[in-house]
Amino acid sequence: MYNQTEVIKDTSELGAEGELIINMGPQHPATHGVLHLVVTLNGETIKKIEPHLGYIHRSIEKMCESLTYRQFIYVTSRMDYLSSHINNLGCALLVEKGMQIEVPERAKYVRVILSELTRIASHELWLGAMAMDLGAFTPFFYAFREREMITDIMEETCGARLTMNYIVPGGLMYDIHPDFQKKVKAFITQFKAKVTEYEDLVTNNIIFQSRTKGVGVLTAEDAISFGCTGPVARASGVSCDIRKLYPYDVYDKVEFDEVIETAGDSFARYMVRVKEMNQSIRIIEQLIDTIPEGDFVGKTKNVLKLPKGEFYTRVETARGEFGIYVVSEGGTTPHRIKFRSPGFSNLSALNHMAAGSKIGDLMATMGTLDLVIPDIDR
């Protein structure tokens, strides 16, 4: 029989004089998943953070190589599970671009509306979880009240609440539910009425502001050099919204602002996400009444074969730029596939942002990075 304490490497001897090494995770309330951070502490001050990955690696990229172009879309739901619809959309866009499939307008509208609903749902969950990281429990329940309405809409539309799998190359799997427009409008009314509650409970709270302002600062140069995207980069003043820069589906037809803050601290990242929710509502409002009638899926061949070559598309998920890179040999399955996930790049900036601050600041920084671990590990 082996002694279990010998198998686990004892890291307490590794630290220099006065240093304390803590394994934060893979089981820890603030890492929201199986992220393992080896944190070197000097008292309460963080000297170094070393993320260890691989606890939830499922080799999704390799798995996709043996799946057809219809099938591989749905594996991506399991990466960033909070933006599953947007991940699916990215993959579908790649196949459509590669094979020049015409997508009906109706499908494009519904895809964008659902993408924005997904973004709101993801930000709602982030808001609750982040407030919880800072020690406030109540916002979680308020955020989930609105998120529940979105998941109900999703459930009614496509049968699933989290991993929707609603998109096929060329359009949608089914047509929308007759009540879809009514439900979405009800949600918009509810959200607009309740969003002030978050402002009162979280944004204007003096403790929350003092915990987040000036904490985990990331400059624009650093954001670019670490490859940060999404709200993290936009809070540092980097314009990187794929919806604006490389519009897909009907994003070029709607009016919305790219939310940019310049402070680069945790509070700026918080504000970017809260304002993004309002912009998403704005997009949905413009589209919901004008969903065109017609087919919900375009005409495609039964067996999809991408022509020989390399393909890349990108979409803006709730966390940033999600890129899909496919090398095709002309067969029914991808030859090689690589996903560029936003969480991985954002996590790489963590050490830079949090080193030198207190443990409490690490929670604020990590909370506003909005990490989804299956997205980082894949």
Partner 1 sequence: MFSLEGITSTIQDWLFFKFNPTLALAIECVIVILLAIALFAALGLILVLMERKVAARIQIRLGPNRVGPGGIFQTAADTLKLIMKEGLTPDKADKFLFNLAPFIVMMVAMLLLAPIAFAKNFQIWDINIGVLYISAISSLSVIGILMAGWASNNKYSLLGAMRSGAQIVSYELSAGFAVLTIVVLTGSLQISEIVAAQQNGWWIFKGHIPAIIAFVLYIIAVTAETNRAPFDLAEAESELTAGFHTEYSGMKFALFFLAEYINIFIVCAIGATLFLGGWMPLHIGNWQGFNHIMDFIPSSIWFMGKTFFLIFLIMWFRWTFPRLRVDQLLNLEWKYLLPISLFNLLLVAVIAILGWHF
> Residues in the site for partner 1, rule: CB under 8 A?
5, 20, 22, 28-30, 41, 44, 131-138, 140-142, 145, 201-202, 205, 207-208, 210-211, 358-363
Q: Is the CB of 298 or the CB of 360 nearer to partner 1?
A: 360
Q: Is the CB of 28 or the CB of 335 nearer to partner 1?
A: 28
Distance CA 190, CA 198 (A): 13
- Output the smallest distance, CB 234 to partner 1, in A: 24
Nearest to 271 by CA among 163, 161, 368: 368
- Output the smallest distance, CB 335 to partner 1, in A: 44
Q: Is the CB of 28 or the CB of 48 nearer to partner 1?
A: 28
Q: Is the CB of 336 or the CB of 358 nearer to partner 1?
A: 358
Q: Where are the alpha helices (DSSP H) in the chain?
A: 4-7, 60-64, 72-75, 84-99, 105-133, 138-158, 180-198, 206-212, 220-225, 230-235, 242-245, 266-288, 342-348, 350-354, 359-369, 373-377
Q: Is the CB of 220 or the CB of 355 nearer to partner 1?
A: 355
Distance CA 322, CA 68 (A): 20
Distance CA 317, CA 210 (A): 29
- Output the smallest distance, CB 138 to partner 1, in A: 5
- Output the smallest distance, CB 40 to partner 1, in A: 12
Distance CA 365, CA 140 (A): 18
Instruction: Report DSSP state, residue 15.
Output: S
Distance CA 87, CA 339 (A): 10
- Output the smallest distance, CB 265 to partner 1, in A: 14
- Output the smallest distance, CB 22 to partner 1, in A: 5
Q: Is the CB of 205 or the CB of 332 nearer to partner 1?
A: 205
Strand partners, 214: none
